[in-house]
Structure 1
């Protein structure tokens, strides 16, 4: 006897409707397993993402280089630094020039700096993508009486600069605020800077990259600059990731194993109570593979339903608890794992059902 996939699924659904209590129990087991794992490993993953995001917002993956008073840095070296494999992007800031609103004589002054980068697209992170544009941080614009960011400023020599909007600074460059920024394009050998801001791709590379930058800028001589990194926060982040990860994973294996054992026990009990039915199917020509496929399909359907309900219940529970949601990839992986564990729990019962001798089973009263 051979049946199509659609026919096997239809027959599996018919059998599940006939055994509603056992079906609901298996669905509940998978859903509870999903909820348990989410409230342990999932909650830990959500907290870890929240911690990492909070720490990253402080510029933890950045290196801040400042020239000593009376000295400058060669902005052209930034091109070499940006070529380090660990560096995502980098920017150089020129010495500050005090400027004031052209319409307010004797008004407040704020520093104006030229910013260069080997990656011109980086200027978008500061609020502009146009080389040559001049913009200001909100604090600077308010201080000079141009909160809209549209106006003009001039320095002590009468040089005027037209403002075209508001700018933002990354967390690592917060020490430069308030300031106006003029976008100078790519640095060349004649450009002089007093500050470098370098963003690395991973917190684990901050220390090594900082050392490389120091070696390049000092050239073997006495350093005329200082380098600042949030190494303590880097170390704290790594510690939190490790500790939270271990805590979240501690109960996952037990929950999965327990669910598989319970499902296997339920399916085994169900098969023992339907021995004559499987014997009759074998007598009518059903192959062992067909019986196995039928039982596994039933378990698969219940596992999918259980994982779906568990996912919904988990999301709602975390929302009610006010706990950060784990990443979407966590839910997707857990859903697949739940379905796989639930289905695997039905393997032994399915094989057992397929090996029933039809003659022996039909003799059972």
Structure 2
């Protein structure tokens, strides 16, 4: 009697091919990821527990370290005002002869926000108000800085136009800042009102005229605003090197060292406290994630034993556990970040920066991965014969 051998159909052949692929011990990465995701869904309790731990870690970090980081940013920003970033080059004798080209040279520095120079002062009076005044008038080299508010009118466009400070306008009896000023030899048209703030408030007491491009005005002061307070000392060193003067030894370059020291102390203390809090929260989260994943792996020990008996490699088992924990970590990080930002908004606290929030989420996910490594290695190194032994 002739025996017949069934020829497998295409579907059966496909199943056999996938089965052989699974038993080779080297499944594709996509298959491992898919299997890990399915495992995470098949163990909802373990996955949800790990996700909850990560969410709590992210939430607590944002409510503690995130709040401190936002507070630190606000405090440092308030200290980082114009006063801590302002560098001033002063002609201490009046005979240093600072070249106006110095302003253009300093403006080329990438760490400088703005720079302007002021020439010597001359007294001017209001021609139309019985020579009311006087008020000091200085030539402006470099244009009005952005930290000087134009309260009325416009900026001067020609050397014959001036802007008047708010206090000087009162002394000159020019409430509408319209009219002419004279220094006895030249007349100037008042076209605008300016108000200086902070260390530039002295501009309220005088008037400014735009220096002509070819006018050789010896500067008495050069004001430079550094891009940040941390760069102020570097900007001061650069200003010393770039100042062109007939008597460089008579030029004094100063920076607010006391404010800079206060900024560094506050930022250092707040930052150190935030880092310690974050380290403690992440450490506790690491322990909890490790314990949670140990329980999840213990519940699947027979499954891992069957996989190892069928030819799965230890790296494949480790990958499955890490993929499962990654799913829980990502879900928990997103949930914790959303909850933390919602609580901060509800309590009226400013949000930390987007980079900080993203960094906390990444750290929480990494904590999940690191905490899952010991359980994953334990599952991979377990003897499948002992696991599958029938008593």
Aligned to 2:73: 49
Is 1:353 matched up with 2:351? no
Structure 2 contact 103–116 (Cα < 8 Å) conserved: no
Aligned to 1:9: 33
Structure-1 separation of matches of 2:318 and 2:381: 9
Structure-1 separation of matches of 2:87 and 2:226: 8
Larger Rg belongs to: 2
Query: What TM-score results when the alignment is normalised by the length of structure 2?
Result: 0.74
Aligned to 1:310: 336
Alignment of 1:155-174 (within 5 A): 155-157=182-184, 159-161=187-189, 163=191, 169=196, 171-174=198-201
Q: Would you say how many aligned residue pairs link Structure 1 and Structure 2?
A: 355
Aligned to 2:278: 252
In the superposition, relative to structure 1, how do residues 14 and 64 fare at CA in structure 2: closer, same or farther (>3 Å)?
same
* Partner residue of 1:64 out of 78, 84, 88: 88
* Partner residue of 2:140 out of 88, 92, 115: 115
In the superposition, relative to structure 1, how do residues 145 and 290 fare at CA in structure 2: closer, same or farther (>3 Å)?
same
Q: Displacement, 1:135?
A: 6.6
Is 1:329 matched up with 2:359? no
Alignment of 1:56-205 (within 5 A): 56-67=80-91, 73-76=97-100, 78-79=102-103, 82=106, 88=112, 89-97=114-122, 111-117=136-142, 132=158, 136=163, 139=166, 143=170, 144-146=174-176, 153-157=180-184, 159-161=187-189, 163=191, 169=196, 171-184=198-211, 190-200=216-226, 203=229
Query: What TM-score results when the alignment is normalised by the length of structure 1?
Result: 0.78
In the superposition, relative to structure 1, how do residues 15 and 185 fare at CA in structure 2: closer, same or farther (>3 Å)?
farther
In the superposition, relative to structure 1, how do residues 299 and 185 fare at CA in structure 2: closer, same or farther (>3 Å)?
farther
In the superposition, relative to structure 1, how do residues 167 and 139 fare at CA in structure 2: closer, same or farther (>3 Å)?
closer
Structure-1 separation of matches of 2:347 and 2:97: 51
Q: Displacement, 1:267?
A: 1.0
Gaps of 5+ in 1: none
Structure 1 contact 135–167 (Cα < 8 Å) conserved: no
Structure 1 contact 31–309 (Cα < 8 Å) conserved: yes
In the superposition, relative to structure 1, how do residues 290 and 87 fare at CA in structure 2: closer, same or farther (>3 Å)?
closer
Structure 2 contact 103–222 (Cα < 8 Å) conserved: no
In the superposition, relative to structure 1, how do residues 347 and 183 fare at CA in structure 2: closer, same or farther (>3 Å)?
farther
The range that moved more, 22-31 or 57-66, is: 57-66
Structure-1 separation of matches of 2:130 and 2:38: 87
Structure 1 contact 135–166 (Cα < 8 Å) conserved: no
Cα RMSD, aligned residues only: 3.9
Aligned to 1:295: 321
- Where 2:328 maps in the other structure, the secondary structure is helix
Structure-2 separation of matches of 1:220 and 1:228: 14
- Where 1:338 maps in the other structure, the secondary structure is helix
Structure-2 separation of matches of 1:270 and 1:246: 36
Aligned to 1:319: 345
Structure-2 separation of matches of 1:166 and 1:4: 73
The range that moved more, 47-56 or 4-13, is: 4-13
Structure 2 contact 195–201 (Cα < 8 Å) conserved: no
Structure 2 contact 100–141 (Cα < 8 Å) conserved: no
Structure-1 separation of matches of 2:43 and 2:336: 21
Structure 1 contact 173–197 (Cα < 8 Å) conserved: no
In the superposition, relative to structure 1, how do residues 246 and 123 fare at CA in structure 2: closer, same or farther (>3 Å)?
closer
Deviations 1:4-55 (A, max 9, x none): 4444333333322332222222112112212233333333322222122111
